């Protein structure tokens, strides 16, 4: 995404969201969005298939049952 | 258990000539009648009065409430009643926690016009019930979107070890208040590193619990799918007692997954024999300065760790956390961004807007990846109990720094502070930050992340306790 592309995107989406942007601010936001785009591209390295669901309400692991805590590794 | 607390109270700092009372010793001395809760409170108020003009940790003081509570505790003791574990311990909270009677500013100008909170946040209630005395609210990055606490509305929070340096953020006031000896216990929040970064840069103990361990009810959100809350303290025992007091299932917070309390204090002195402890390499090593590597090496030697471990997809995890943070944070504030953008923090407003405009496909991809990431990280903990890595790549930079160098690579200073914390919190693992003091940083600290599997805060605290008792980690006094 070039800076020009980013600025064009920012201007049009901001209008869609009724978010007024002065030209200076639009330029700065476009720079941030271009950086975000580079970071988002990192995620393209991971193949995902249709069955990989959202982590909607995230839970890092099932809450342990009573008796599952401690002891197993010291 | 009592012996554990008493032993811990003797180990309340390392490498300092300045005696700093820890929460456990304070509560014990009040319970024994050696000091009154009112005396302890007055000492804390005097310390704040003497130092906060330089540090700028506090944004609000709740003195009337604090004095009433201290007097109630002293009366309770005079009647011969038993006191709860934190009776008379002054504490303070990041100003995104609801405090009855105050608007919850969350570091912003805009929120100051909100109605005062009707009650306290769940975790403030928990500490209050444990006898803690709330003394006020603390400085932070606006809406928690930052790692430096360079807050234009309240002024920057200064690092008590070097006043020209950042305190870290976004819970900068929470770490600085402990480092400055103003209060022994504080609360903060951590979405991508906001407990661990300031704990590292200010040289205090911090705990980011498992995602979903503690209720977030009554706090102003930043990124609902990533927000954690947790304590800072001046010793591991204080951190542990505070953490235990905070625990409790809360069905009214949909993000609170804990169904029972797992007390960590009874486990604290069990040591690390039998625990499998590794050092994170790859991504984490590449983004650590020599000083940061040196404190991890010292921690590893102390804990008997020699093996290097690769954390799966760390860079991708960080990217996904970044994308989710930008989208949810920006979306949350879309209405005021439309009408009051000029009242936002200048360092944050353009990032908030960029986040609000991100394509939804980026966000959804990041959330789908998180499922895979969880499974890969949890698989790692089948072979390891504790993993070590620095909390920040470097020690605290000067306030206003825009760019830093890490191993010859230039990085934007503010987001770079979270490079080593984001991949861990994205998995939701609990982390204790151990304050350590490398050579070559002009006396400034760098913390080490002591990481455990989800729901195993007890293991991270045990390892931290070993580091403290070996004298390699702990808080140091400041010259204020």
B6: confidence class by pLDDT, cuts 50, 70, 90 = very low
In a domain, B479, yes or no: no
- Provide the total of helices (H) and of strands (E) in chain B, helices listed first: 17, 15
Span B321-379, pLDDT tens digits:
999 999 999 999 999 999 999 999 999 999 999 999 999 999 999 999 999 999 999 99
Place of tokens 């089948």: B382
Alpha helices in B21-81 (DSSP H): 23-31, 37-55, 63-78
A32 contacts on B by Cβ (under 8 Å): 350-351, 353-354
In a domain, A9, yes or no: yes
In a domain, A69, yes or no: no
Subunit contact B372:A64, Cβ cutoff 8 A:
no
Subunit contact B372:A39, Cβ cutoff 8 A:
no
Region for residue A67 given its phi and psi (left: phi exceeds 0; alpha: psi -120 to 50; beta: otherwise):
left
Contact in structure between B403 and B123 (CB atoms under 8 Å): no
Q: Which chain A residue has its CA at the smallest distance from B412's CA?
A: A35
Per-residue pLDDT, A64: 85
- Shortest CA distance to B377 belongs to which of B304, B311, B436? B311
Subunit contact A60:B368, Cβ cutoff 8 A:
no
Contact in structure between B137 and B147 (CB atoms under 8 Å): no
The SS3 of residue B477 is coil
In a domain, A57, yes or no: no
In a domain, B478, yes or no: no
* Interface confidence (ipTM) of the complex: 0.82
* Burial (Cβ within 10 Å: 0-12, 13-18, ≥19) of residue B403: exposed
B210 contacts on A by Cβ (under 8 Å): 60
Span B92-103, pLDDT tens digits:
999 999 999 999
Q: How many domains does chain B have?
A: 1
User: How far B105 CA lies from chain A's nearest CA (Å)?
Assistant: 23
Does B190 reach chain A within 8 Å, measured CB to CB? no
Contact in structure between B307 and B279 (CB atoms under 8 Å): yes
Which stretch of DSSP H or E encloses residue B434? strand B431-436
| DSSP, residue by residue, A9-42 | HHHHHHHHTT----HHHHHHHHHHHHHHHHHHHH
A53 contacts on B by Cβ (under 8 Å): 368, 371
In a domain, B130, yes or no: yes
The boundaries of the domain holding residue A31 are 3-45
Which residues of B belong to the active site? 94, 170, 194
In a domain, A15, yes or no: yes
Span A3-60, pLDDT tens digits:
899 999 999 999 999 999 999 999 999 999 999 999 999 998 888 887 777 766 667 7
Of A32, A57, A69, the CB nearest to B350: A32
Contact in structure between B201 and B177 (CB atoms under 8 Å): no
Which stretch of DSSP H or E encloses residue B61? strand B58-61
Subunit contact A17:B270, Cβ cutoff 8 A:
no
User: How far A54 CA lies from chain B's nearest CA (Å)?
Assistant: 4
The enclosing domain of B72 has a CATH number of: 3.90.1300.10
Q: How many domains does chain A have?
A: 1
Please determine, for residue B469, whether its predicted confidence score (pLDDT) is greater than 70.
yes
B21: confidence class by pLDDT, cuts 50, 70, 90 = confident
In a domain, A34, yes or no: yes
Question: What φ, ψ does residue B423 adopt, rounded to 5°?
Answer: -65, -25
In a domain, A11, yes or no: yes
B273 contacts on A by Cβ (under 8 Å): 74
B8: confidence class by pLDDT, cuts 50, 70, 90 = very low
* B236, B237, B242, B248: CA torsion to nearest 10: 100
Subunit contact B371:A52, Cβ cutoff 8 A:
yes
CA separation for the pair B323, B284 (Å, rounded):
20
Subunit contact B316:A14, Cβ cutoff 8 A:
no
Please determine, for residue B136, whether its predicted confidence score (pLDDT) is greater than 60.
yes
Q: What predicted TM-score, i.e. pTM, was given to this entire model? A: 0.93
In a domain, B377, yes or no: yes
Subunit contact A55:B370, Cβ cutoff 8 A:
yes
The mean pLDDT of B308-317, rounded to a whole number, is 98
Per-residue pLDDT, B2: 27
In a domain, B476, yes or no: no
Region for residue B393 given its phi and psi (left: phi exceeds 0; alpha: psi -120 to 50; beta: otherwise):
alpha
The boundaries of the domain holding residue B260 are 2-469
In a domain, A35, yes or no: yes
In a domain, B293, yes or no: yes
In a domain, A28, yes or no: yes
The mean pLDDT of B188-215, rounded to a whole number, is 98
The SS3 of residue B279 is strand
Q: Which two tokens stand for residue B142?
A: 């606006």
Does B365 reach chain A within 8 Å, measured CB to CB? yes
Q: Which two tokens stand for residue B263?
A: 């007390």
Per-residue pLDDT, A73: 45
Per-residue pLDDT, A58: 64
The mean pLDDT of B138-157, rounded to a whole number, is 98
The SS3 of residue B62 is coil
Per-residue pLDDT, B17: 36
Substitution target in A33, A54, A61, A67 with the highest count of B β-carbons within 10 Å is: A61
Per-residue pLDDT, A51: 76
């Amino acid at each position: 995404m070039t800076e020009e592309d980013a600025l064009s995107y920012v201007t049009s989406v901001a209008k869609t969201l009724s978010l007024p942007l002065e030209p200076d601010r639009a330029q700065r936001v476009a720079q941030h969005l271009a950086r975000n785009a580079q970071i988002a591209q990192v995620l393209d390295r991971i193949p995902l298939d249709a069955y990989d669901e959202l982590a909607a309400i995230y839970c890092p692991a099932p809450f342990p049952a009573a008796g599952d805590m401690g002891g197993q590794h010291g | 258990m009592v012996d554990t607390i008493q032993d811990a109270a003797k180990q309340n700092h390392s490498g300092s000539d300045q005696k700093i009372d820890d929460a456990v010793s304070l509560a014990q001395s009040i319970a024994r009648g050696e000091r009154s809760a009112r005396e302890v409170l007055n000492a804390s108020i005097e310390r704040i009065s003497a130092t906060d003009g330089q540090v700028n940790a506090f944004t609000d003081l709740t003195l009337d409430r604090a004095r009433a509570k201290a007097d109630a505790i002293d009366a309770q003791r005079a009647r011969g009643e038993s006191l709860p574990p934190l009776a008379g311990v002054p504490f303070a909270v990041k100003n995104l926690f609801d405090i009855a009677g105050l608007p919850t500013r969350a570091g912003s100008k805009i929120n100051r016009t909100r109605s005062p909170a009707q009650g306290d946040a769940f975790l403030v209630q928990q500490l209050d019930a444990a006898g803690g005395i709330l003394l006020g609210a603390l400085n932070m990055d606006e809406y928690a979107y930052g790692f430096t606490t360079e807050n234009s509305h309240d002024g920057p929070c200064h690092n008590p070890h070097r006043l020209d340096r950042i305190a870290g953020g976004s819970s900068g006031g929470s770490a600085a208040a402990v480092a400055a000896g103003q209060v022994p216990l504080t609360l903060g929040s951590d979405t991508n590193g906001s407990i661990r970064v300031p704990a590292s840069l200010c040289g205090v103990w911090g705990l980011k619990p498992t995602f979903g361990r503690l209720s977030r009810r009554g706090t102003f959100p930043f990124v609902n799918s990533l927000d954690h809350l947790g304590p800072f303290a001046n010793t591991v025992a204080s951190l542990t007692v505070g953490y235990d007091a905070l625990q409790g299932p809360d069905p009214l917070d949909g993000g609170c997954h804990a169904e029972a309390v797992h007390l960590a204090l009874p486990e604290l002195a069990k040591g690390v024999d039998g625990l499998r402890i590794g050092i994170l390499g790859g991504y984490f090593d590449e983004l650590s300065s020599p000083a940061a590597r040196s404190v991890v090496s010292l921690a590893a030697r102390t804990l008997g760790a020699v093996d290097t471990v690769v954390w799966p997809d760390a860079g991708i995890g960080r990217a996904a956390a970044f994308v989710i943070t930008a989208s949810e944070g920006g979306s949350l504030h879309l209405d005021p961004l439309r009408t009051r953008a000029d009242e936002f923090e200048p360092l944050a407003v353009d990032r908030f807007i960029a986040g609000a405009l991100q394509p939804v496909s980026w966000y959804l991809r990041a959330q789908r990846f998180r499922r895979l990431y969880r499974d890969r990280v949890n698989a790692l903990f089948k072979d390891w109990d504790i993993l070590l890595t620095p909390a920040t790549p470097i020690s605290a930079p000067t306030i206003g720094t825009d760019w830093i160098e890490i191993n010859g690579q230039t990085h934007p200073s503010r987001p770079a502070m979270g490079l080593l914390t984001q991949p861990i919190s994205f998995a939701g693992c609990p982390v204790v930050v151990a304050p350590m003091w490398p050579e070559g940083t002009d006396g400034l600290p760098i913390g080490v992340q002591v990481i455990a599997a989800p729901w195993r805060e007890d293991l991270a605290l045990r390892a931290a306790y070993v580091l403290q008792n070996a004298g390699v980690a702990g808080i140091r006094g400041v010259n204020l």
